[in-house]
């Protein structure tokens, strides 16, 4: 298990709090659903930013001479830069959510392995 992953799993699954594996599994499923919702929202934002980037008009060139024209061109360049940074930030957010989903998938697997099977409960009960 990666460093710090145990703490994450304990937090997600409620391990160490006396909660049974069934509760831990339910917590992991809830966390997975929450992360999928976040990922879908980030994906929509990525699409919107991409569309916004494509709508920014190209620079009119250096042939413009007036102050207003130069200011407009500078603002377009600034807008392109801000949208590029937003795109990078959203890509990072999506990647972080993907890593969290991988950790939750591992937690689900571990919780399922820790949960006694119905046959075992019947035998032991």
Q: Give domain status of residue 15, yes or no.
A: yes
Classify residue 72: in a domain, yes or no. Answer: yes
Domain that holds residue 59: 5-117
Ramachandran sector of residue 40 (left: φ over 0; alpha: ψ -120 to 50; beta: rest): alpha
Average pLDDT in the chain: 80
pTM of the shown model? 0.68
Query: How many domains, in total, are found in the chain?
Result: 1
Residue 105 lies in a domain: yes
pLDDT digits (tens, 9 = 90+) for 28-41: 889 999 999 999 99
């Amino acid at each position: 298990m990666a460093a710090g992953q145990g703490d994450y799993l304990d937090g997600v699954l409620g391990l160490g709090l006396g909660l049974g594996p069934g509760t831990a599994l339910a917590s992991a499923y809830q966390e997975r659903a929450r992360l999928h919702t976040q990922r879908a929202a980030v994906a929509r934002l990525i699409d919107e930013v991409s569309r916004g980037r494509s709508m920014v008009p190209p620079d009119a060139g250096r042939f413009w001479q007036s102050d207003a024209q130069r200011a407009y061109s500078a603002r377009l360049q600034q807008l392109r830069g801000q949208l590029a940074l937003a795109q990078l930030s959203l890509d990072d957010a999506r990647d972080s959510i993907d890593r969290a989903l991988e950790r939750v998938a591992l937690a689900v697997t571990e919780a399922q392995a820790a949960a006694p099977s119905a046959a075992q409960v019947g035998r032991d009960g």
